[in-house]
């Protein structure tokens, strides 16, 4: 069996390795000059690489933890010792809690409403959930206006949504929000460091996992070769890359974000789209600030912060485990990410440094600085994951994992478990590999049907 895998992110590489182990002849085509997709190591200093993309994992991410062990890698804890910092409406405060100093009753009411929504969605098929249609037509911003009256709840909610999903409330449906939070293990798990989804990082950077998988595949991985066309006929499949090279296959795995998969010229054409005009980019920019050491700890601070005004809506301590350097990672998400991405490099740097000066006035100026802008990345079109807008789950959900003839789809956005996370990417890659190894019947394209 000849298989072409389009995309050398975690899903594509996972599928490719398992197919090779089963005896398939595999070629992996990747548009970038590197592997990893939305897992990207950024060199902040000599010997210091930080996670520009996906970074965190927890105890429930069983397939990811197993793969980390198989690849000979280690996990390290995300440090959270010390007080949190909050910059709310221009006022900076510190507290031992991660809960911002806002009205506790209003925040409690917010989370009660969210828990109720999350509990009503079907994680295996959200489009079949009770009230799926009205909830998929309603944006989260509209839901917010109808259900949250207290100003503190309205202030906090976009910050929470940005941290969890890198989304602006106006860009996603209520059904998508509820499904995402359910799929990831629930609100409490997703939001937690110790015992939660942000408990650990992969030592040396999450991208190392993809590099190990790519090393196993060797010259089967071909970089700088974006897939532009996939043509199926009774004689097989021809995959054409951006340079005009043609690759012959019996089966194809498309392991790309939906917006990129939609750009491929499928012949015959797709019966149902991979994305719609409502499908959005994950709105995330990561900013890394380097210091000689995690100096904030000397002042009793954890490095964790939340701000109502950007650009850094939150920060976290991502220093290496030996404390040989200090690393603050800032997250610019939602509408703030779009505004930040539009600034010049100088404008971005000035805004970040001014903000950090307000958050942590006792810290010196950082010695290192890096920005990873996923919104402007043409080979990802956003991060953490694609955002399903109004109507998307009703139109896209039933066919997310359905093959198009001999073309199969992987990627974290096709996983009903841990959608948007590294765990979801691995599970999707293993699902597709298992389908091909078992020889599950392909769904005929219109051209195959005519050939009969």
30 is an annotated ligand-binding site residue? yes
Q: Is 31 annotated as a binding residue?
A: yes
Measured CA to CA, the distance from residue 151 to residue 102 in angstroms comes to 10
Structure tokens at 429: 């890659």
d(C-alpha 34, C-alpha 221), whole Å: 10
Neighbours of 46 (CB within 10 A): 5
CA distance 428 to 9: 12
Distance of CA 338 to the CA centre of its chain: 17
**By the 8 A CB rule, do 176 and 393 touch?**
yes
- Distances in Å between the Cα of 370 and the Cα atoms of 204, 209, 286, 324, 334 are 17, 22, 8, 18, 19
CA 149 to chain centroid: 31
Q: Is 227 annotated as a binding residue?
A: yes
- DSSP single-letter state for residue 188: H
Closest of 63, 283, 272 to residue 165, by C-alpha:
283
Residue 402 annotated as part of some ligand binding site: no
Q: Token match 């930040």: residue? A: 340
In angstroms, rounded to a whole number, what is the distance separating the alpha carbons of residues 340 and 360? 21
Q: Which residues are annotated as a binding site for FAD?
A: 30-31, 227, 413
Q: Which residues are annotated as a binding site?
A: 30-31, 227, 331, 413
Q: Which residues are annotated as a binding site for substrate?
A: 331
């Amino acid at each position: 069996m000849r298989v072409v895998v389009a995309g050398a992110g975690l899903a594509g590489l996972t599928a490719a390795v398992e197919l090779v182990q089963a005896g398939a002849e595999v070629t992996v085509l990747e548009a970038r000059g590197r592997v990893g997709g939305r897992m990207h190591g950024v060199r902040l200093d000599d010997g210091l690489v930080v996670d520009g993309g996906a970074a965190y994992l927890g105890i429930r991410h069983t397939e990811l933890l197993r793969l980390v062990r198989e690849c000979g890698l280690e996990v390290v804890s995300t440090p959270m010792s010390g007080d949190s910092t909050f910059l709310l409406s221009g006022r900076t405060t510190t507290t031992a809690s991660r809960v911002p100093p806002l009205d506790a009753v209003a925040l409690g009411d917010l989370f009660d409403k969210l828990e109720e929504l999350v509990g009503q969605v079907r994680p295996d098929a959200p489009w079949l959930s009770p009230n799926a249609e009205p909830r998929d037509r309603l944006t989260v911003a509209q839901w917010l206006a109808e259900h949250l009256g207290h100003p503190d709840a309205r202030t906090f909610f976009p910050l929470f949504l940005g941290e969890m999903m890198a989304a602006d409330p106006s860009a996603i449906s209520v059904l998508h929000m509820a499904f995402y939070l359910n799929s990831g293990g629930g609100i409490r798990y997703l939001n937690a460091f110790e015992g939660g989804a942000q408990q650990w990082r992969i030592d040396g950077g999450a991208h190392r996992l993809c590099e190990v998988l790519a090393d196993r595949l060797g010259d089967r991985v071909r970089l700088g070769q974006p897939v532009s066309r996939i043509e199926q006929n009774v004689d097989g499949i021809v995959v054409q890359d951006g340079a005009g090279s043609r690759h012959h296959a019996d089966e194809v795995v498309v392991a790309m974000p939906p917006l990129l998969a939609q750009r491929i010229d499928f012949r015959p054409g797709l019966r149902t789209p991979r994305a719609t005009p409502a499908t959005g980019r994950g709105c995330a920019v990561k900013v890394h600030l380097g210091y000689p050491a995690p100096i904030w700890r000397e002042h009793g601070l954890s490095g964790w912060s939340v701000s109502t005004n950007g650009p850094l809506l939150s920060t976290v301590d991502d220093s290496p485990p030996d404390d040989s350097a200090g690393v603050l990672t800032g997250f610019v998400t939602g509408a703030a990410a779009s505004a930040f991405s539009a600034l010049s490099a100088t404008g971005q740097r000035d805004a970040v440094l001014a903000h950090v000066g307000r958050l942590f006035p006792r810290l010196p100026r950082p010695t290192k600085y890096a920005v990873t802008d996923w919104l402007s990345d043409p080979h990802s079109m956003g991060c953490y994951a694609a955002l399903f807008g109004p109507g998307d789950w009703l139109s896209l959900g039933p066919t997310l994992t359905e093959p198009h003839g001999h073309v199969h789809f992987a990627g974290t956005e096709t996983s009903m478990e841990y959608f948007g996370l590294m765990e979801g990417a691995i599970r999707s890659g293993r699902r597709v590999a298992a389908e091909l190894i078992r020889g599950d019947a392909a769904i005929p394209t219109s051209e195959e049907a005519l050939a009969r």
